[in-house]
Amino acid sequence: MARPRRIVLLRHGESEGNNDDSVYERVPDHALALTERGQQQARDAGKRLREQLGDEGVSVYVSPYRRTHQTLTALGLDSSLMRVREEPRLREQDWGNWQDRQDVRDQKAYRDAYGHFFYRFAQGESGADVYDRVGAFLESLWRSFENPDHPPNVLLVTHGLTMRLFCMRWLHWSVAEFESLSNPDNGEARSLLLERDGRYHLDRPFEKWRTPRPYGPRV
């Protein structure tokens, strides 16, 4: 099995929705484009990635959203070193279709109180749903490592919540640990690095927005 030395998870650059949430009332989430700032964030991320990867090959999986594809293009990686696959299981958490801005703001507030993992958007998914499809993707990813010619690097161009849930699944975090963590900034990456002990370790932690609150019986 040719396990990669590095698995990089990259959040897309700033999108129109990150900049102005009223756009969700007019444009489908999957069709939102990067802002100019988001394009620059992606170019900056690409510079950092090229320094990391050098001339090594990389297997790329990209969410099917417009902003993730634009981020991948703006990275400026050498196409001759990449094997690119669009991966729908790495998409953003579904919130429904065209969305009322105030309704989404209200639901996000409810989610903070209810729990990011369990709260289900009225017409969309819960974090638990995203966790399940990320788990299904991981099974496919592990099978790809059976190829002796698998590149030494993997790059996932995806979304903040999906990044956190991928790490939760890979590193066996509890729900309480996951819910204490913040999304990375737009254009920000985290890497799982293969160490001498044969395990993957996160290169740096996610920031925390609260202290983990373990689940269990009330006393």
Rounded to whole angstroms, how far apart are CA atoms 157 and 71?
A: 8
Task: State the residue for tokens 């998870």.
Answer: 9
Q: What is the pLDDT of residue 99?
A: 85
Rounded to whole angstroms, how far apart are CA atoms 167 and 179?
A: 12
CATH code of domain 6-202: 3.40.50.1240
Residue 215 clears pLDDT 80, i.e. is over it: no
Cβ atoms 72, 52 nearer than 8 A: no
Rounded to whole angstroms, how far apart are CA atoms 23 and 12?
A: 17
Domain ranges of the chain: 6-202
Greatest CA separation for the chain: 59
Residue 214 clears pLDDT 80, i.e. is over it: no
Cβ atoms 205, 32 nearer than 8 A: no
Locate 89 and state its tokens: 């299981």
User: For 129-139, how does the pLDDT look when each residue is reduced to its tens digit (9 = 90+)?
Assistant: 999 999 999 99
Residue 216 clears pLDDT 80, i.e. is over it: no
Mean of pLDDT over the chain: 94
Percent of the chain surpassing pLDDT 90: 85
Q: Which residues are catalytic?
A: 12, 92
Q: What is the pLDDT of residue 217?
A: 55
Task: State the residue for tokens 């983990």.
Answer: 212
User: For 88-127, how does the pLDDT look when each residue is reduced to its tens digit (9 = 90+)?
Assistant: 999 999 988 888 888 888 988 999 889 999 999 988 999 9
Residue 218 clears pLDDT 60, i.e. is over it: no
Q: Which of 157, 133, 159, 135 is nearest to 59 (CA)?
A: 157
Q: What is the pLDDT of residue 96?
A: 85
pTM, to two decimals: 0.94
The residue ranges of DSSP E strands in the chain, in sequence order, are 6-11, 58-62, 82-86, 153-158, 189-194, 200-202
Q: What is the pLDDT of residue 122?
A: 87
Lowest mean pLDDT among 78-87, 175-184, 204-213: 204-213
Residue 139, SS3? helix
Q: What is the pLDDT of residue 172?
A: 96
Cβ atoms 60, 157 nearer than 8 A: yes
